[in-house]
Structure 1
Amino acid sequence: MILPSASPVGWLLALAAAVTYGVSALAGSRFSPSQARFALMLAWVLHGASVAWGLLGQAPHFGFAPALSMTAWLVLIAYLVERQFFPQMRALWVLTLLGAVAVLLGVVFPGKPLHALSSPWLPLHLTLGIASYGLFAAAVVHAWLMTRAEKQIRLAADSPSGMPLLTLERLTFRFVTAGFVVLTATLIAGWFFGEVLYGRAWVWDHKSVFSVLSWITFGVLLIGRSRFGWRGRHAVNVLYAGAVLLLLAYVGSRFVIEVLLGKAGA
């Protein structure tokens, strides 16, 4: 069951962002670097406006698809910042596709209405959770680029990302570390202040179980990296496993509730 779609303004912003992402990807090779950067920045701004309208518009909504849309938007922030330090980085088509799909999903499945919040601190808790999604998503993108770079090195070819393998590896684990810190703060807030935030104490539901399992997985990855020097395919596989568990925690559970079961409630 598809929930009622977003408002006409939300659709207009999302479609404009998706089209601009497409232009940025398809015409990127024909644009000058400054023009390509402007096109991507414009798409990112329109994407952000679409997300903001869904949260702050006349009928604010939030759910699994807006969470994915915000995650993609945050990953693009990381890419735009990194391009300032690593102009040779090449991952545009992947990120523009991710952004276009995510922003459209956000208006097709806008989620549940946001009524009066049970706590003024709840937006901060939601922001921490989405920030952890964004940081781990950025880590996954870098890990994917790192895997591709390793394959190209074995074939004696240039890295498809345009960045050195060791640089990609360092960036991947910096994002993992930052994401782990933010996820830890999110879980601590939910554990100790759940009753204040949501009107009920911590409950061991699907979201909680998958969140804790992902936290343990990422913690094992960081310990394995620092103590045993984990790297390469083994480390990447553990990262992917943790990312899947984290995705199932909120996005997966909300997808089942909102789409498969057709419920708009919390």
Structure 2
Amino acid sequence: MILSGASPLSWLLTLAAAAAYAVPAAIAARLGVAAARNALVAAWLLHGAVLVWGLWGDSPRFGFAPALSMTAWLVLTVYAVEQQLFPRMRARWMLAIFGAAAVLLALVFPGTPLPQTASAWLPLHLALGIACYGLLAAAVVHAWLMTRAEHHIRQGEDPHSGIPLLTLERLTFRFVGAGFVLLTATLLAGWWFGESLYGKAWRWDHKAVFSLLSWLTFATLLLGRWRFGWRGRNAVRVLYAGAALLLLAYAGSRFVLEVVLGRSA
């Protein structure tokens, strides 16, 4: 843990964002729709300020927790956009818990300083990877909403999702497709420009193996969807498996390095 590395402003912004997230997470049922939405927007803005300050205010750091924090912020961005299209979409409490946990985790584990000698293309490579995480995390959230809605329909209840089931399914696979494209670009960049990006050529470490396994899993899912019409619970299980492998690829391997082994690389 590197708590001492965080500046007072970073502490203030992080705690304010976590407190703002706690409002819709803890008392969403007592708030009106507008109040819950406004609380989540305030938390999203504060979270964004935390990310900006972490990248440009303090000495730039990166690691598994900042990656998860950026992923959570991107998922909330997707949710904010979709709220304009589907006002009855209900996932505030889950996303608020995710956001609060991610922003606090990044305060406790801020990662390691980015090397001064890193390539100028490194931020672009990291941005591709984080965008990929964000889109596929959004796909996981939509798959969870789809599974919950399907369960409620089978029980003869109100699906509670605010989005028609078929629309949820289409959105899920659109996010998977977009995330797969970015994952492919990230892997190609790491393989082709690895030496200029990180000062070392591509190597078969845990991150590379899990990344390729996740790529194969998502490729299988998209091929099965296109060729055989995969849908429902089996497709969702494959999506969860691919997301878990991708989580292990960077966040998992960096967690082991930074927290368990106490190393930066």
TM-score of the superposition, structure 2-length normalised? 0.96
Tell me which amino acid in the other structure corresponds to 1:111: G
Map 1:40-59 onto structure 2 (within 5 A): 40-59=40-59
Q: Which residue of 2 aligns with 1:18?
A: 18
User: CA–CA distance in 1 between the matches of 2:76 and 2:19?
Assistant: 16
| Structural RMSD (CA) | 1.3
How many correspondences in the alignment? 264
Is residue 75–residue 135 contact of structure 2 (8 Å, CA) maintained in 1?
yes
Map 1:99-110 onto structure 2 (within 5 A): 99-110=99-110
Structure ranking higher on relative contact order (CA contacts 8 Å, 6+ apart): 1
Q: What secondary structure sits across from 2:16 in the alignment?
A: helix
Q: Which residue of 2 aligns with 1:213?
A: 213
Shift of 1:166: 0.7
Q: Which residue of 2 aligns with 1:3?
A: 2
Is residue 136–residue 179 contact of structure 1 (8 Å, CA) maintained in 2?
yes
Q: What secondary structure sits across from 1:43 in the alignment?
A: helix
Is residue 132–residue 180 contact of structure 2 (8 Å, CA) maintained in 1?
yes
Shift of 1:32: 4.1
Shift of 1:145: 0.8
Tell me which amino acid in the other structure corresponds to 2:130: I
2:186 is the counterpart of 1:193: no
2:159 is the counterpart of 1:164: no
2:112 is the counterpart of 1:112: yes
User: CA–CA distance in 2 between the matches of 1:22 and 1:117?
Assistant: 40
Deviates most, 115-124 or 220-229: 115-124
Tell me which amino acid in the other structure corresponds to 1:3: I
Deviates most, 119-128 or 47-56: 47-56
User: CA–CA distance in 1 between the matches of 2:229 and 2:238?
Assistant: 13
Shift of 1:37: 2.4
User: CA–CA distance in 1 between the matches of 2:2 and 2:30?
Assistant: 40
Shift of 1:30: 4.2
Q: Which residue of 2 aligns with 1:236?
A: 236
Q: Which residue of 2 aligns with 1:176?
A: 176
Map 1:62-141 onto structure 2 (within 5 A): 62-141=62-141
Tell me which amino acid in the other structure corresponds to 2:2: L
Shift of 1:113: 1.2
Shift of 1:118: 1.7
Tell me which amino acid in the other structure corresponds to 1:176: V
1:157-206 per-residue CA deviation (whole Å, 9 max, x = no partner) reads 01121221111111100100000000011011111111111111111111
TM-score of the superposition, structure 1-length normalised? 0.96
Is residue 3–residue 258 contact of structure 1 (8 Å, CA) maintained in 2?
no
User: CA–CA distance in 2 between the matches of 1:115 and 1:121?
Assistant: 13
Q: Which residue of 2 aligns with 1:246?
A: 246
Shift of 1:36: 2.7
Q: What secondary structure sits across from 1:77 in the alignment?
A: helix
Is residue 3–residue 262 contact of structure 1 (8 Å, CA) maintained in 2?
no
Tell me which amino acid in the other structure corresponds to 1:146: M
Q: What secondary structure sits across from 1:110 in the alignment?
A: coil
Runs of 5+ consecutive residues of structure 1 not aligned to the other structure:
none
Tell me which amino acid in the other structure corresponds to 1:84: Q
